[in-house]
Structure 1
Amino acid sequence: MTTTPTRRLLPLHTDVRHGSRSHMTCHFRCGNACDRPVPNTTDNPEFHEIAATALARRSLIKTAAVGAGALTLTGVAAGQAPLAAAAVSARGAGGWAFTPVAPNRDDKVTVPRGFRADVLISWGDRVEKGAPRFDVRNQTPEAAAQQFGYNNDYVGVLPHPTKQKRAVLVTNHEYTDENLMFPTGTDADVVKGVAMASHGLSVVEIVRGARKGSWRRAKVANTTLNRRLHVGSDFELVGPAAGDDRLKTSEDATGTTVKGTLNNCSGGRTPWGTILSGEENFNQYFEGTRPAEYEAEYARYGISGGAGRGWSSIEPRFSMQNEPNEPYRFGWVVELDPYDPTSTPRKHTMLGRFKHEGANVTIASNGKAVAYMGDDERGDYIYRFVSAGTFDGSGTRKARKANMQLLLTGTLYVARFAGDGAEDERYDGTGRWLPLCSDTESFVEGMTVADVLLNTRLAADTVSPTRMDRPEDVEVNPVNGRVYAALTNNSNRGTTFPADEANPITTSQVRSAPDAPLTSASGNRNGYVLEMTPGNDNHAGTDFQWSLMLVCGDPEAPETYFADFPKDQVSPISCPDNVAFDGAGNLWISTDGNVLASNDGLFRVPTRGPNRGQVQQFASTPFGAECCGPFISDDQLTVFLAPQHPGETDGATFEDQSSTWPNDEGFPRPSVVTVYRR
């Protein structure tokens, strides 16, 4: 390896910019999306306008109550007494009684007393046979392509097809942080090559451990399903838009084969045993000037060109001057069959192209497969797909093969919300799914089916859906059948986005330090959790009801709301990102970008019964890390979570790290963690 000095990839900053997010995180994860113009420049209605009347009424009604006993939790921070445990009637994770974790800034995964957190797999660990041992000072692209990638986000676990004591772990690798990964002076081409190989997905066989609820990695030599997918792996474009001229490049004249997958964020398991993975902030990887023929289309997706990641020096396709169509080949939902290591993952054009946080499938009462999706951008939309065919639950190989075609044909919708206008204290209303196209017919005037699917944002703009505050994970609760969406935040609410001072969702309370008082901040800084109930309990129908189950933040803040649960008995929660459910129907929420001066974490919230809305913090992540996953095992004995970008704080470098989690090796390693009862 040569030691030609490389330019520093990011100026050193020492201040925090968006909650707990650093300049470094914003730079590497999403290309500083919040600093760029909002791609959605339409005047379509915004969610805060719909909820404003109810929220203003509720603020007046609840403020008096907050001033008394509800402030018992005032400023809960590291070292303060945690909340009392609550009893939940259920087996496994849904019934675990625990004392909630207190907010903290520790460089470790903190779990309640009586629980244990084990590191299952970390960046650089061997995945494929023949992979070398990890050597952080001598990384190569060839080694990285066989090792566990960087920044694990989505976690999915499926039963092993033949071995009862094994399971199959599938993990996304969202992005890389070259400042933390490489010693100063590492060869520039090595840095780029390793970074490209460290994106993508990992499939890893895991084995039950000796302790109930524990897991460990299977020995690589004894696995048949382990697999790494990265920027150089083959992916197939499928569905109505596959083969469109805009998907063709000099290397792929058919418009059906793509090298790689980028910025994979969250995902979901399908009822037929595959994994869906969402390509999110793909726009930041392409360099140069936007092609004139795609100026408006690319601008709507935040594809601005510029320096990108510098990958075009190795792969010319990342320059829009070389391959103007290459950005059209990303922004899709990827389907991976983890049971067939020889299969080619598919990019589903029928699910639309946007910044997919993920996709989660449920089966409607009429047998249709329904996929819910969020477009993770300020002011963008929530989508849904309904299949044309019906699910075959017989469990045969023939049925599985047929079910794997369900996402190829059907209808794509976008959501419009409306307030109910009732004089009550609820944040609620009704909604409608607006059709954009089927696999054979466009419902948007002047656009073909391919136009709608390739430029889904532009198509949706024309039908006046509701602009949301960063809709991320959208998932169906398997117990109550309702749909839950994590709406992380919108720091520009009140500036770029119109604000209403009477609407508490546009003025949040934040902290500058753990022991600092709450102060007002413009914008929806803490986020909220949306609950949707399909009309007639039919996910394939076009009508639904909605309510805000949680308005997140510190319970001391007047704008917060926890489904009517007493505010003196909840944990502070900020910036919900991903959701999961246990066997009792409890909602588990992971956070990203906490603005309450503590580490991100994982929270459990009952969705029914007397404890509905009681937010309890179950875990906190290491310093500088985001809490990803989560996943509750099918036997309800294990919670999987995936802290990513530990130590990603401004000023940190490989030689001067702010985290050494998990192994105190002198540098941090993003990892997947299992949590279970001792």
Structure 2
Amino acid sequence: MTQLTERRSLLPLLAAHPGGRSAATCRYRCGDACSQPVPNTSDNAYFGDVVTAAVQRRSLLQAGAAATGAVALAWGTARPAAAGPGRGRPGIAGFSPIPPTPADVDELVVPEGYKWAPVISWGDPIDPGAPAFDVDRQSVEAQRRQAGYNADYLTLRRGGARGNAANRGLIAFNNEYTNPESMFPDWSGSPTPEQAMIEMAAHGMTIVEVSRRNPFSPWRYDVAGRRNRRIHAHTPFAVDGPAAGSALLRTAADPRGRTVLGTLNNCAGGDTPWGTILSGEENFNQYFDADGADDPDGALARYGITSGGRGWEQADDRFRVADHPNEVHRFGWIVEVDPDDPRSTPVKHTALGRFKHEGATIRLADDGRAVAYMGDDERFDYIYKFVSRERYRKGDKRHNMRLLSEGDLYVARFTGDGFEDGEFDGSGEWLPLLVDGRSHVPGMSVEEVCVHTRLAADLVGPTKMDRPEDVQPNPHTGQVYVALTNNTRRTPGQTDEANPRANNKFGHVIQWTEAGDDAAALTFRWRIVLIAGNPDDPSTYFSGYDRSQVSPISCPDNVAFDGHPDHLWIATDGAPGTIGTCDGMFLMPTAGPEKGKVQQFLSVPTGAECCGPVVSWDERSVLVSVQHPGEGGVPSGYPYLGDPVPRPGVAHVYRGKR
């Protein structure tokens, strides 16, 4: 570890930003969004104009700890919180919860009786001819044949041509962004052209085949897997949907506006019933330098595209907005990839709108149409829903891969019903942006709604949310959950019943049920199921469960489900800077006597974010992405293979035979 410590000591120890992330995370994940002006300057109401009693009770949340007794009474909470559960306390679902892990601990901590192993890490070769990882001998060609950097969204697809389908399959994971200060031993603060091209090659997605000996052994990746593939910033993508070929997407390199090179800042995603993978292009704005660019309609400002960038324009001129004003319009989409065909061309779907997509998840409506739920991960931005025009056909993959090419696009408005029932809840409606191929936004064409979706949504009056990230329907119940990670810019005068906490450092989770339990419905009922934070904070809420019996949790980012209808798994991003613990993964039952009992299952190493959990709870098996270990200049050796730098990637937590 001496070499690691020496190299890491060269990095600045960067302070946490107000939202809880390190300054390095803010710089490389989202382009310092939290230190920039809020992009949404629309005058949409904050929907806080509910009955006076509700406003008065909400003000107790704003008052913080001074409101202990009143908030406890409002939530029906009986006792003050203890310091948190310790190792060995009886848990739920077959594990004893781990205690909170201090933010400087460089370990992947799992419950007693569980083991973990790395599956694949940044730089691992994914074809037999690729070189082994060597931090001192990186190249563009090597990186395009090696696992990408910073694993986020993760999926496991069972089955394969050889052996037992239960013990073979593939994993796909997003490579969201790069940490050049960790990647390059000679990093000087700005990339050389070669380093910029290596970073581009490390972005995108990684797909590899995996296998295991039996359900009690770890998954391992196959370097020679038939379906292994890297998708990066120069992979050709097809463009489909209403904006394909639009003048807004045409460039000198692509005068037809139908082929884009690459995908950037891929965050969360989703599986489709027809066997493909969806991935969301999130903070794409940070890669573009807008110096000298005109912004007559305010679209650049609305998407947070400012001067600066990451220096990539020195290696690839298309990232200079003044010279290529439409190139930035070619990012910010949902992309679809067929993981079973490594020669297929991935697609960018313009029908689903352009914004900072956290991801997209699919549920079928009662009539068979595909419904995609999406969050725009920005302070005061919105939640969206797409409903396909055509219907799903079981077994017809070719037809189904066109479902996201045409349909209706909506944005959500949440309205509170007052606090008399003791809960933050109410009704909601889906406001139309595009329906039946026509724009429902005055003054904007269909193509403009697709490309400038944020501007279109501003005009119809949706609810400004606290950074809506992962939006997931429970596959067993149909109820939909959204992780609202945080929003430290919300003031007391901007709170509403769906976003009730000012200076929301810790985040919350909302659940809703579509009318008639039909995913295509245009109205819904909602309620808050978690207001995160340290449970000794009286403003926290755990679905009414005794706060003294739950784990501290902060900044929910991803949510996931397993084979049990009442298991909600939550992965976090921001706990080190808000409650002083490592990020991790938590289980919260959504029904029954332990409803709301948040218990921590694992924690990731110092500086890392916990992402993309895939849970097979009947096997006591969890795959998890460990993103940016050691970020912010803290020493980390993850995955502890003796390398001189930390290597983000995918880990498998498993029970093993007793």
TM-score by length of 1: 0.88
| Distance (whole Å) between structure 1 residues aligned to residue 127 and residue 25 of structure 2 | 29
Structure 1 residues 35-44 or 13-22, which shifts more? 13-22
Quote the residue 2:610 is aligned against: 627
Q: What does 1:263-412 correspond to in 2, within 5 Å?
A: 263-289=265-291, 291-292=293-294, 294-304=296-306, 306-393=307-394, 395=395, 399-412=396-409
Quote the residue 1:198 is aligned against: 202
Secondary structure of the corresponding residue to residue 70 of structure 1: coil
Post-superposition CA distance 1:565-616 (Å, at most 9, x none): 1111110000000010011121100000111001000001111111111101
Q: Would you say the 8 A contact 2:425–2:497 is kept in 1?
A: no
Q: Which amino acid aligns with 2:239?
A: L
Mark the CA change 1:47 to 1:485 in structure 2 (over 3 Å): closer, same or farther: farther
Residues 1:444 and 2:445 are matched in the alignment: no
| Distance (whole Å) between structure 2 residues aligned to residue 301 and residue 323 of structure 1 | 16
Quote the residue 1:646 is aligned against: 629
Quote the residue 2:651 is aligned against: 673
Q: Would you say the 8 A contact 1:245–1:255 is kept in 2?
A: yes
The Cα of 1:264 is off from its aligned counterpart by 0.4
| Distance (whole Å) between structure 1 residues aligned to residue 345 and residue 14 of structure 2 | 44
Mark the CA change 1:500 to 1:273 in structure 2 (over 3 Å): closer, same or farther: closer
The percentage of counterpart residues that share the same residue type is: 47
Quote the residue 2:79 is aligned against: 70
| Distance (whole Å) between structure 2 residues aligned to residue 308 and residue 335 of structure 1 | 26
Quote the residue 1:510 is aligned against: none
Q: What does 1:140-539 correspond to in 2, within 5 Å?
A: 140-163=139-162, 164=165, 165-184=167-186, 188-210=192-214, 212=216, 214-218=218-222, 220-221=223-224, 223-289=225-291, 291-292=293-294, 294-304=296-306, 306-393=307-394, 395=395, 399-421=396-418, 423-438=420-435, 440-494=437-491, 498-499=493-494, 505-507=500-502, 523-539=503-519
Q: Which amino acid aligns with 2:207?
A: V
Quote the residue 1:611 is aligned against: 594
Mark the CA change 1:637 to 1:244 in structure 2 (over 3 Å): closer, same or farther: same
Post-superposition CA distance 1:367-410 (Å, at most 9, x none): 111000000000000000011111112x2xxx111111111111
Q: Would you say the 8 A contact 1:369–1:390 is kept in 2?
A: yes
Q: Would you say the 8 A contact 2:416–2:497 is kept in 1?
A: no
Secondary structure of the corresponding residue to residue 16 of structure 1: coil
| Distance (whole Å) between structure 2 residues aligned to residue 461 and residue 565 of structure 1 | 37
Mark the CA change 1:468 to 1:47 in structure 2 (over 3 Å): closer, same or farther: farther
| Distance (whole Å) between structure 2 residues aligned to residue 81 and residue 98 of structure 1 | 9
Mark the CA change 1:67 to 1:537 in structure 2 (over 3 Å): closer, same or farther: closer
Mark the CA change 1:68 to 1:33 in structure 2 (over 3 Å): closer, same or farther: closer
The Cα of 1:293 is off from its aligned counterpart by 5.4
Mark the CA change 1:52 to 1:369 in structure 2 (over 3 Å): closer, same or farther: farther
Q: Which amino acid aligns with 2:95?
A: A
| Distance (whole Å) between structure 2 residues aligned to residue 40 and residue 217 of structure 1 | 43
Q: Would you say the 8 A contact 1:358–1:473 is kept in 2?
A: yes
Structure 1: state its 5+ residue gaps. 1-7, 88-94, 508-522
Mark the CA change 1:213 to 1:615 in structure 2 (over 3 Å): closer, same or farther: farther
Q: Would you say the 8 A contact 1:155–1:642 is kept in 2?
A: yes
Q: Would you say the 8 A contact 2:542–2:597 is kept in 1?
A: yes
Residues 1:85 and 2:90 are matched in the alignment: yes
The Cα of 1:671 is off from its aligned counterpart by 1.4
| Distance (whole Å) between structure 1 residues aligned to residue 80 and residue 417 of structure 2 | 31
Post-superposition CA distance 1:151-178 (Å, at most 9, x none): 1111011123433231110010000111
Secondary structure of the corresponding residue to residue 435 of structure 1: strand
Structure 2: state its 5+ residue gaps. 1-7, 62-66
| Distance (whole Å) between structure 1 residues aligned to residue 79 and residue 346 of structure 2 | 51
The Cα of 1:659 is off from its aligned counterpart by 1.0
Q: Would you say the 8 A contact 1:101–1:111 is kept in 2?
A: no
The Cα of 1:64 is off from its aligned counterpart by 5.7
Residues 1:661 and 2:638 are matched in the alignment: yes
Q: Would you say the 8 A contact 1:278–1:334 is kept in 2?
A: yes
| Distance (whole Å) between structure 2 residues aligned to residue 503 and residue 631 of structure 1 | 28
TM-score by length of 2: 0.91
| Distance (whole Å) between structure 1 residues aligned to residue 422 and residue 441 of structure 2 | 37
Quote the residue 1:116 is aligned against: 115
| Distance (whole Å) between structure 1 residues aligned to residue 441 and residue 614 of structure 2 | 37
Give aligned pairs, total: 629
Quote the residue 1:103 is aligned against: 101
Secondary structure of the corresponding residue to residue 103 of structure 1: coil
| Distance (whole Å) between structure 1 residues aligned to residue 497 and residue 601 of structure 2 | 33
Q: Which amino acid aligns with 2:41?
A: T
The Cα of 1:148 is off from its aligned counterpart by 0.4
| Distance (whole Å) between structure 2 residues aligned to residue 613 and residue 427 of structure 1 | 15
Q: Which amino acid aligns with 2:652?
A: T
Mark the CA change 1:213 to 1:447 in structure 2 (over 3 Å): closer, same or farther: farther
Q: Would you say the 8 A contact 1:273–1:337 is kept in 2?
A: yes
The Cα of 1:422 is off from its aligned counterpart by 5.3
| Distance (whole Å) between structure 2 residues aligned to residue 368 and residue 198 of structure 1 | 35
| Distance (whole Å) between structure 2 residues aligned to residue 261 and residue 348 of structure 1 | 12
Quote the residue 2:559 is aligned against: 579
| Distance (whole Å) between structure 1 residues aligned to residue 41 and residue 266 of structure 2 | 26
| Distance (whole Å) between structure 2 residues aligned to residue 481 and residue 64 of structure 1 | 31
Structure 1 residues 570-579 or 63-72, which shifts more? 63-72
Quote the residue 2:527 is aligned against: 547
Structure 1 residues 437-446 or 290-299, which shifts more? 290-299
Quote the residue 1:520 is aligned against: none
Mark the CA change 1:504 to 1:353 in structure 2 (over 3 Å): closer, same or farther: closer
CA RMSD of aligned residues (A): 2.4
